Amino acid sequence: MAVTADIVLAGSTDTTGASFEIGDLMIMSVMSDGTPLDYLVEGQRLDVGVPVSVDPVVLTINYAYRLHDSFDGILSNGLTFTWPYYCGNMFPCKSDPYDGLSFELELIGIPLDMDVIYPTSILSDAPSYMIGWAVGEFDYIDLGTTTDGTQVGVYYQPGEEIDATEGTRNLRDVMEWYEQTYGEYIFGEEVASVSVDWGAGQFGGLEHHPFWHVASGSMSDQSIHAHEAAHGWFGNGVRITCWEDFVLSEGVASYLAARSLTEVGGVILGNTIWTLYTSQLDRLQSSSENKIAWPDSCNQVDIIDDGLFGSAPYMKGAFFLRDVESVIGKEMLDQALRDFYVTNKGGYAGMQDLLDEIMTHTGYDPTLCANAWLRSDSLPVNGICDY
């Protein structure tokens, strides 16, 4: 479990320090160009003295990692799960969602009778939690190539072929629709859903683009595959400014899953997904769960401890966008989403930035609608989202 991380920092003539989150990593050495550097481990933080340089500086950090079984790092079953802020248990990192980085990755020591699925490089800036891998026994189905040349597939575990085939029946067309409607995919020329075993009661997925993970119990669910694919545009392709903007990632992805499957799979399939969403929204409103999808702050909320990770950003975000669509029409909403993505891809933005884009592009001010859906415990009254 030994790792070498080469971290490339921009050159600086006035800053001589860098800090990283390291969780429970065991730091062995820190060097640059073969020269040992001063460093200090303070709890879960690594502070490094960085040479003054106008050119980029490469920090070579040798360390060892520990295995985790609470979905907070590198798991003992061969999977990774670092969302939302556990990247420090995998590599020295910055977990702030706005802070993007590109990757090159090589895994060694994989058992000969096992497969490992991971990207060897991610060249566009991505959130720290996006990098991940899955070790296990996998079969593969080639689902075809999009018009833009993106190869789409699915990796499934033994006995899952029927579920994997059903769940990804429209995935190639969904990817193509995203590309044609919102813009180019920036994380490579090959994508796939990857089945992972998260244990009893598992469901959903995790946006490890370009090989996003889907719980084995959800492999037959087309909406999960479409949702995780959508994060290539919103959540990963455009990172969120702070965790309070979580709805910009999950609400938009939920809306796009239903929308894309309606476009490529037909109205009946789309209506089925919206009916499922309605049931989830009803359960949310009758529960004691947090119902605020977009807190009125930034960097003040712990997404886990304060309950923001729940149904509210997913479902209330999706229904907010559906109401906006009903007012301004699909074409104008699509163009606003496309302009927002093209402007911000590879960077970060907040939910307010999306509202501003809608206003700028369409003349419709979605503020009252957004407040009613996203910043209220209750559901909006009819007509509040109208012009």
- The CATH code of the domain that includes 96 is 3.30.2010.30
| Tally of residues, the chain | 387
Q: How far apart are CA 135 and CA 110, in angstroms?
A: 8
pLDDT in tens, 129-138: 999 999 999 9
Q: Residues 254, 195: one domain?
A: no
Residue where one domain finishes, among candidates 232, 260, 294: 232
Query: In this structure, is residue 387 part of a structural domain?
Result: no
Q: What is the CATH number of the domain that holds 46?
A: 2.60.40
Q: Residues 85, 201: one domain?
A: yes
Does 155 have pLDDT greater than 90? yes
Average pLDDT over every residue of 107-112: 92
Average pLDDT over every residue of 264-285: 97
Q: Quote the pLDDT of residue 289.
A: 97
Res. 243 pLDDT band, cuts 50 70 90: very high
Average pLDDT over every residue of 217-227: 98
Range of the domain at 187: 67-232
Query: In this structure, is residue 380 part of a structural domain?
Result: no
Q: Quote the pLDDT of residue 246.
A: 98
Query: In this structure, is residue 386 part of a structural domain?
Result: no
How do strand 134-136 and strand 121-126 relate by DSSP bridges? Answer: unpaired
pLDDT in tens, 8-29: 999 988 888 999 999 999 999 9
Query: In this structure, is residue 383 part of a structural domain?
Result: no
Does 50 have pLDDT greater than 90? yes
Q: Quote the pLDDT of residue 99.
A: 95
Q: Residues 222, 277: one domain?
A: no
Q: What mean pLDDT is reported for the chain?
A: 97
Query: In this structure, is residue 100 part of a structural domain?
Result: yes
What lies within 8 Å, CB to CB, of 114 at 6+ separation is 78, 135, 136, 137
Does 149 have pLDDT greater than 90? yes
Q: Quote the pLDDT of residue 201.
A: 84
Q: Residues 199, 111: one domain?
A: yes
Does 200 have pLDDT greater than 90? no
Identify whether the C-beta of residue 327 lies closer than 8 Å to the C-beta of residue 364. Answer: yes
Q: Residues 261, 358: one domain?
A: yes
Query: In this structure, is residue 314 part of a structural domain?
Result: yes
- Total tally of structural domains belonging to the chain: 3
Does 386 have pLDDT greater than 90? yes
**Cα-Cα-Cα-Cα dihedral of 269, 271, 277, 282, to 10°?**
-150
Q: Residues 42, 11: one domain?
A: yes
Res. 157 pLDDT band, cuts 50 70 90: very high
Query: In this structure, is residue 89 part of a structural domain?
Result: yes
Q: Residues 309, 211: one domain?
A: no
- The model carries a pTM of 0.97
Average pLDDT over every residue of 328-332: 97
Average pLDDT over every residue of 338-342: 98
Does 312 have pLDDT greater than 90? yes
Q: What are phi and psi of 252, to 5 degrees?
A: -65, -40
Q: Quote the pLDDT of residue 15.
A: 84
Res. 203 pLDDT band, cuts 50 70 90: very high
Residue where one domain finishes, among candidates 232, 260, 281: 232
Identify whether the C-beta of residue 189 lies closer than 8 Å to the C-beta of residue 242. Answer: no
Share of the chain above pLDDT 70, in %: 100
Q: Residues 34, 103: one domain?
A: no
Q: What is the CATH number of the domain that holds 365?
A: 1.10.390.10
Q: Quote the pLDDT of residue 29.
A: 98
Q: How far apart are CA 58 and CA 51, in angstroms?
A: 10
Q: Quote the pLDDT of residue 13.
A: 86
The CB density around residue 56, as the number of other CB atoms within 10 Å, is 10
Does 387 have pLDDT greater than 90? no
Residue where one domain finishes, among candidates 232, 250, 272: 232
Amino acid (1-letter code) at residue 83: W
